[in-house]
Structure 1
């Protein structure tokens, strides 16, 4: 049953975890499992004891460079071992890490660095062939063109930025690199870092994550160490993680899909496999060779890449007991058929809720991971509300999903109005998502509150049409958007990705819907894609074109009339 509205008590070990910062959890785990591998990233392997020692070195260097409690440290780069060291080091001294989206365009980067008042910025040159961050910074901050790496920074568009470092760039000869960063530290700084590690309160800010969206600028979500420690411990409890577990996770570090399993692994002594650039063949090899137990692969674009790789049939994935992916039920069932013996886990979450606070329970037979998102972690409460009246709805009634408990983020940086809209005085976090919560607390996600189509006066969830389209054996993935219509106000337009080797026409996609879903829900436009506009790991629907030519329009009435004529004649 759902917990009462007045009593939200996390399990004792989750509550205890909330008293610690990320660095203190790392230190505790290093004491318990010093030689246990914590991280494997593109061939570099570090144990818990090694990561703690490296984090202390980095923390001492930060102090020597002038950072301290409250300093905001921007990190812009691909997944790397240095990135993880910086995360732990920042938390150790009470600084806050700004995990900048590596796919940010120049305008978003300028905004984020100024908005967050970043005092330090670390960029990574490890993925220079994919993204040259140094060149980007020179374009947006012309003062850097002739910077010798030694003179004090003075950037008109980033007045708070005092230190800039470029790690892992083989072509760098001027801007300070990792060696220059570490050189300033002394034993005194190291002692200070260790002392601060034990003094920083768990309520202090750990991360600032800029969430993408359709607004003019991304919103800056603030998460505390307490948020991360408690959500990580809850994850470890739900999935019974221990030191013997190996979690494969190719998600980017600037996203909670990576921060959450990282928090769970350090709480449980487990190992996490990460990468700077996802390659299906390499993923299969690592999961096989490292005997991965949890494939945290999350999204159809990644799962499909693994299952469709030529080496999948020969790969030994017998060690994998759990696989996480979200998507339409029929698509997940199709994936499951390719991985017999692996338990799928579904989820629901948002950055404002500390990442993912709702998960299916693989040991609960009533919690169907293909159709349900699962249950909130112990100590949290979730319910559906009428978004207009704020009235809590009965079980199995569709409404806005709202959360209460330790997962609530601290708020949006410098945006009290937006924070007040989502963090209510009665403790609820308004998610902006639609769904159902049954009497047993099992959640069924039903799309975004604003991801709705208004077709002829009927409210239609895009997810409903997407889910049906994905039942077609030749369709890998579908996304539905609203397109203006002179008669129905809006109609559905479907963007479709086909399975490898499949052949399908737009007319056949529409015909598959006729007579099987309500006629007003049938897409009037269909386009095929091979690549999606992405922000981190999510498809950015707002970047899908809503401009369609008249000849692309499918007249459903005419198609139905022809079908009836054929049936009558035959």
Structure 2
């Protein structure tokens, strides 16, 4: 990508549509959108947003699973300089009440599709919405900035504007009116807020500007030699960077992006065959294992697949390479705070090396390994905290100055909370997490989030959550619980208490009741709890 290009996400779409209007952009099993169609729908939705009073800087929440309207709506937001706040479709009552208020959402677009009733969950989280159908201050003090709700599907109750009525409002704004707004969008303005769990009790909003995401996607394109003819299969949720960043990288070359409403391996294999995918992006071991096990996915019948991206332990990557030997297998290091990815393995490196590291940082991204105690750089090969500088680093956690002060040091390094090292070639080797976080089926999960909810149960005196290894999901949450005297609480009671209040992947899969805790001088020793598993 030439330096003269304006690094705006809206320009990424406009450029691709100008160069390859008839080429497939987004392909679902039951829906296909060309770049011309993608651009037209995005601009129409942008005009509708403007007609309804949305302006640059307004926060627009998208609460939905993967569906054809999702990406045009996202691009409609960034075209006019609004901030697309991509809400995890698995959030339930506690998370939704927190993020809607904390992130100052002015609008929420949602719906009920594919057995995920997001609109209903929003109403459960904000019963205030059913008490007053006025268009202003819909949720009162619970979400004082919230002004408007739009339903993607037929929603029988609540103050939702029907999707078609919203679409029709585009007629009130001309293309020239739209240009007057799109021309004011600046590369350093916030484009996206996406969520990650950390050491706080609730999801944190990561603010990402156009410049960071645009150039990180370009760097991914360059490292992996993405070309116009590439057809990428990535069924991951569109509210995840593991889906959004690969899409943006592909859009730099106007390639084709294959996705689906949910991860369905039968449909996936059919789609990979029919569309002749060249690049698979399962990312997580469970999805890759299901692909390999599928009887219709035979490597010799798919010579078109040139790249497969996964993030996994060395042994898993080596097994993937053996199962799909005709493709080049790559891995990466990243997180939402780094616009998704900071490094990728070089496809030209030998396979045995690609299985053992995460590659060199992208050009323009610096990585240094710091001693967690002294914050001094360590020698090559030594382990420490992975710290990052460069264009890929996010703007910060939205409205969380204390978290930002912890995350960024005086020299401007972002401290990832991950343990790693750099080999003699400057490639990142990941060794685990410093932050006490779980990785459940690709989702980052803060134990404190689960512990905070469990502690509200009247029978629970104390709860500690740790991760137990799981072959399919990498880790599963296990809750150690001390009950109040005379309390009668079962494992089933604990699970039922969590259901519908926190996301399903955060619900403990095991509950272990204890009467005493392994302690250091001041803290519970979670390592000792892990030894009990």
Q: 1:30 aligns with which of 17, 39, 55?
A: 17
Secondary structure of the residue aligned to 1:374 is coil
Q: In the alignment, is the contact (CA less than 8 A) between 1:367 and 1:442 conserved in 2?
A: no
The answer as to 2:350 corresponding to 1:365 is yes
CA–CA separation in structure 2 for the residues paired with 1:151 and 1:549: 50
The answer as to 2:112 corresponding to 1:125 is yes
1:503-562 C-alpha deviation (Å, 9 max, x unpaired): xxxxxxxxxxxxxxxxxxxxxxxxxxxxxx9xxxx9978945462789xxxxxxxxxxxx
Correspondence list, 1:45-444, <5 A: 45-127=32-114, 129=115, 131-145=116-130, 151-156=135-140, 157-169=142-154, 175-186=160-171, 188-213=173-198, 215-313=200-298, 316-365=301-350, 368-444=353-429
Q: 1:21: which partner in 2? A: 8
Q: Structure 1 residue 494: deviation in Å?
A: 5.0
TM-score after normalising by structure 2: 0.81
Q: In the alignment, is the contact (CA less than 8 A) between 1:14 and 1:233 conserved in 2?
A: no
1:66-108 C-alpha deviation (Å, 9 max, x unpaired): 1011110000011112110111000111100100011112111
Secondary structure of the residue aligned to 1:25 is helix
User: Are the structure 2 counterparts of residues 498 and 182 from structure 1 closer, same or farther at C-alpha, using a change threshold of 3 Å?
Assistant: closer
Q: 1:44: which partner in 2? A: 31
User: Are the structure 2 counterparts of residues 50 and 57 from structure 1 closer, same or farther at C-alpha, using a change threshold of 3 Å?
Assistant: same
**Which range moves more in the overlay, 222-231 or 205-214?**
205-214
Q: In the alignment, is the contact (CA less than 8 A) between 1:119 and 1:160 conserved in 2?
A: yes
Q: 2:460: which partner in 1? A: none
Q: Structure 1 residue 270: deviation in Å?
A: 0.8
TM-score after normalising by structure 1: 0.76
1:113-158 C-alpha deviation (Å, 9 max, x unpaired): 000110000002222x2x212222222222333666x754531211
CA–CA separation in structure 2 for the residues paired with 1:495 and 1:333: 19
Q: In the alignment, is the contact (CA less than 8 A) between 1:372 and 1:444 conserved in 2?
A: yes
Q: In the alignment, is the contact (CA less than 8 A) between 1:95 and 1:206 conserved in 2?
A: yes
Q: 2:452: which partner in 1? A: none
Q: In the alignment, is the contact (CA less than 8 A) between 1:108 and 1:218 conserved in 2?
A: yes
User: Are the structure 2 counterparts of residues 408 and 495 from structure 1 closer, same or farther at C-alpha, using a change threshold of 3 Å?
Assistant: closer
Q: Structure 1 residue 28: deviation in Å?
A: 1.2
CA–CA separation in structure 1 for the residues paired with 2:344 and 2:71: 25
CA–CA separation in structure 1 for the residues paired with 2:192 and 2:17: 22
**Gaps (5+ residues) in structure 1?**
1-12, 453-461, 464-480, 482-489, 500-532, 551-570
Q: Structure 1 residue 331: deviation in Å?
A: 1.5
Secondary structure of the residue aligned to 2:170 is coil
User: Are the structure 2 counterparts of residues 425 and 496 from structure 1 closer, same or farther at C-alpha, using a change threshold of 3 Å?
Assistant: closer
Secondary structure of the residue aligned to 1:230 is helix
CA–CA separation in structure 1 for the residues paired with 2:472 and 2:18: 50
CA–CA separation in structure 2 for the residues paired with 1:498 and 1:189: 51
Q: In the alignment, is the contact (CA less than 8 A) between 2:50 and 2:173 conserved in 1?
A: no
Q: In the alignment, is the contact (CA less than 8 A) between 1:15 and 1:230 conserved in 2?
A: no
Q: Structure 1 residue 186: deviation in Å?
A: 2.8
Q: Structure 1 residue 172: deviation in Å?
A: 7.4
Q: In the alignment, is the contact (CA less than 8 A) between 1:360 and 1:372 conserved in 2?
A: yes
CA–CA separation in structure 1 for the residues paired with 2:233 and 2:332: 17
Secondary structure of the residue aligned to 2:69 is helix
CA–CA separation in structure 2 for the residues paired with 1:237 and 1:449: 31
CA–CA separation in structure 1 for the residues paired with 2:101 and 2:469: 36
Q: 1:547: which partner in 2? A: 512
CA–CA separation in structure 1 for the residues paired with 2:104 and 2:183: 26
**Gaps (5+ residues) in structure 2?**
440-446, 448-463, 474-497, 516-533
CA–CA separation in structure 2 for the residues paired with 1:123 and 1:540: 21
CA–CA separation in structure 1 for the residues paired with 2:108 and 2:155: 18
Correspondence list, 1:409-558, <5 A: 409-451=394-436, 494-497=468-471, 543=508, 545=510, 547=512
How many aligned residue pairs are there? 464
User: Are the structure 2 counterparts of residues 126 and 22 from structure 1 closer, same or farther at C-alpha, using a change threshold of 3 Å?
Assistant: same
Q: 1:466: which partner in 2? A: none
User: Are the structure 2 counterparts of residues 371 and 98 from structure 1 closer, same or farther at C-alpha, using a change threshold of 3 Å?
Assistant: same
